[in-house]
Amino acid sequence: MTPRLTAFNVVSLTLGFAFLYLPIVLLVVFSFNESKLVTVWGGFSTRWYAALLGNGPLLEAAWVSLRIGVLSATFATVLGTLAAVALVRFGRFAGRTLLTGMVYAPLVMPEVITGLSLLLLFVALDVDRGFWTVTLAHVSFSMCFVTVVVQSRLVTMDRSLEEAAMDLGATPLATFFQVTLPLIAPAVAAGWMLAFTLSLDDLVIASFTSGPGATTLPMRIYGQVRLGVSPEINAACTIMIGVVTLAILAFSIASKRGLAEPGRAEGA
């Protein structure tokens, strides 16, 4: 079914995409601007990318963000997957509704509130804010996204595969690692990618929970922009867009592969 390209369709498509992507396209274009003036085109150049390499604080922030992203995504994936398994496989246990609500709450919770409440918690516990507090904060808000992704895969998985494994003598733990996990692996990978991207993007929660010496890339960029936009920032942002785009692509490929995987409904 291919819808016909009418004038109306073309115009609305163009306007829609322009609305969404024009600012990003401008940013990418001006990152290759020769001129120091952000809004005046002075010819093509990669000098701002070179300048980026000399910008110590910015590189340091990127490194911090990368480490927080990998760590928090990994923790969030483990916890989120466990929550999904509990929700889908353990039937109606006491507190199931409560757990469902609590797992999904961060999806809709305003980031300012999540950030503020975490800040209050860390202050109350007298924890030194820094790398680990940001990582923990990111785990707590990205875990639910992993749960959603993994849960949707688990519910479509043929339950009798797990029963067959147990019937053949596999303990519940062996069943999980030898049958369930390999079959939901694409969703788990997709969940990790999503959590990583969310962590990399986050400014609000990181601002609340970070401390000296743990400035993430979005925090650094935001801080510099307040002193004036330099083409260097455009270059940094372009690189970030590239990284996030790659992660999203990998995520969608992983979940597509998950859908194509046989074994969800074997037989007739």
Partner 1 sequence: MAEPPGRPAPLIRFEGVTKSFGAARAVAGVDLDIAQGEFFCLLGPSGCGKTTLMRTLAGFETPDSGRILLDGADLAGVPAHRRPVNMMFQSYALFPHMSVEANIAFGLRQDGVPRAEIAERVAAIVRTVQIQGLEKRRPHQLSGGQKQRVALARALVKRPLVLLLDEPLAALDRKLREDTRFELKELQARLGLTFLMVTHDQDEAMAMADRIGVMEKGRLVQVGAPAEVYETPATRGVAAFVGDSTLIEGVAGAFDGAAARLRVRAALGASSPEFVVAAREAPAEGSAVTLALRPEKLRLWTEPPEAGTPNVLEAEVWDLGYLGDKTLVRLRLPGGGTVRVSRLNASRRPEAGLSAHQRAWIGFDPADAVLLTR
For 202, the token pair is 């986050």
Rounded CA-CA distance 28/240 in Å is: 11
Rounded CA-CA distance 37/54 in Å is: 20
Q: Distances in Å between the alpha carbon of 85 and those of 66, 107, 259?
A: 28, 19, 18
- Of positions 103, 154, 165, 236, contacts partner 1 by CB under 8 A: 165
If binding is defined by CB under 8 A, does position 60 make contact with partner 1?
no
- To partner 1, the closest distance from the beta carbon of 157 in angstroms equals 10
- To partner 1, the closest distance from the beta carbon of 181 in angstroms equals 10
Longest dimension (CA), the chain: 71
- To partner 1, the closest distance from the beta carbon of 257 in angstroms equals 12
- To partner 1, the closest distance from the beta carbon of 172 in angstroms equals 8
- To partner 1, the closest distance from the beta carbon of 123 in angstroms equals 47
Helices (H), 129-216: 131-156, 159-167, 172-175, 181-201, 204-209
Rounded CA-CA distance 122/57 in Å is: 26
If binding is defined by CB under 8 A, does position 187 make contact with partner 1?
no
- Of positions 164, 225, 248, 259, contacts partner 1 by CB under 8 A: 164
Rounded CA-CA distance 257/130 in Å is: 38
Nearest to 192 by CA among 112, 255, 105: 255
If binding is defined by CB under 8 A, does position 89 make contact with partner 1?
no
If binding is defined by CB under 8 A, does position 259 make contact with partner 1?
no
Q: Which stretch binds partner 1 (CB under 8 A): 166-174, 202-210, 240-248, 251-259?
A: 166-174
- Of positions 158, 204, 243, 253, contacts partner 1 by CB under 8 A: 158
Q: Distances in Å between the alpha carbon of 67 and those of 52, 70, 134?
A: 19, 5, 11
Q: Which stretch binds partner 1 (CB under 8 A): 38-46, 101-109, 140-148, 155-163?
A: 155-163
**Residues engaged in binding partner 1 (CB under 8 A):** 158, 160-161, 163-172, 174-175, 178-179, 182-183, 261-263, 265-268
